[in-house]
A and B are shown apart, each in its own frame.
Chain A
Amino acid sequence: EPEVTQTPSHQVTQMGQEVILRCVPISNHLYFYWYRQILGQKVEFLVSFYNNEISEKSEIFDDQFSVERPDGSNFTLKIRSTKLEDSAMYFCASSTGQNQPQHFGDGTRLSIL
């Protein structure tokens, strides 16, 4: 079964540094998503992306965050200047359509020191 893959599995970064989390969605999927889960809290929606633009974003997704699909396969989440509170598990997901089930990757654990 095709899977969403995320790299790295664990990223440790100094506060204030930029970090890029990478995702390879399932190849025939058109909708892409990022979610995060702070330890002990709910999985929270960050952003959805379709047709090379953001289609929806949450209040969490402020100016420090950006997403990009730089080529035909990767989907990245960039945090420009990381804060301690950005420490979380970040999940990428993709789907074939807006009202179709989302398929999740294994996640990247981001630790900000």
Chain B
Amino acid sequence: AQSVSQHNHHVILSEAASLELGCNYSYGGTVNLFWYVQYPGQHLQLLLKYFSGDPLVKGIKGFEAEFIKSKFSFNLRKPSVQWSDTAEYFCAVRSYNTDKLIFGTGTRLQVFP
């Protein structure tokens, strides 16, 4: 069965620190990959997506992610976090022939000024 693992459950950083959140998935076929963010009290918002092409994708608010097919990974990065990045971050995978998104458990990021 397909699954998504996010190894960091809770990350605490100071402003200006660099961020990398891990995401690994288990599925051997073609996949679409997503990172969603949920700010406190708000809905899930799409940060970035990978469908094909350049494995380094850039999203909103300075976030980027790199798809490494050989490692089944899609890690999220930001060089310098801000207090406003405090939120929960979800990695999600969709196999090419299906509708459903499979989510990881989420990573709670707290950024302190």
Contacts and interface: CB of A to CB of B under 8 A. Distances in A.
B103 A43 contact: yes
A105 B43 CA distance: 6
A3 B43 CA distance: 10
A91 B92 CA distance: 15
Contacts of A45: 99-102
Nearest to B43: A106
A106 B42 contact: yes
Contacts of A112: none
A31 B99 contact: yes
A56 B99 contact: yes
Nearest to B102: A45
A99 B49 contact: no
B100 A48 contact: yes
Contacts of B103: 35, 42-44
Interface residues of B, number: 23
Interface residues of A, number: 24
A58 interface: yes
Contacts, number: 51
B43 A99 contact: no
Interface in A60-113: 91, 98-99, 101-107
A4 interface: yes
B99 A48 contact: yes
A107 B43 contact: yes
A58 B46 contact: no
B36 interface: yes
A4 B99 CA distance: 18
A9 B46 CA distance: 21
Nearest to A106: B43
29 contacts: A31-B99, A33-B99, A33-B100, A35-B103, A41-B105, A42-B104, A43-B92, A43-B101, A43-B103, A43-B106, A45-B100, A45-B102, A48-B99, A55-B99, A56-B98, A56-B99, A58-B100, A91-B43, A98-B99, A99-B51, A99-B94, A99-B96, A101-B34, A101-B49, A102-B46, A104-B36, A104-B43, A105-B43, A106-B42
Given A44-B103, A91-B44, A99-B96, 12 more contacts: A33-B99, A35-B103, A41-B105, A42-B103, A43-B92, A43-B101, A43-B103, A45-B99, A45-B101, A91-B43, A99-B32, A102-B46
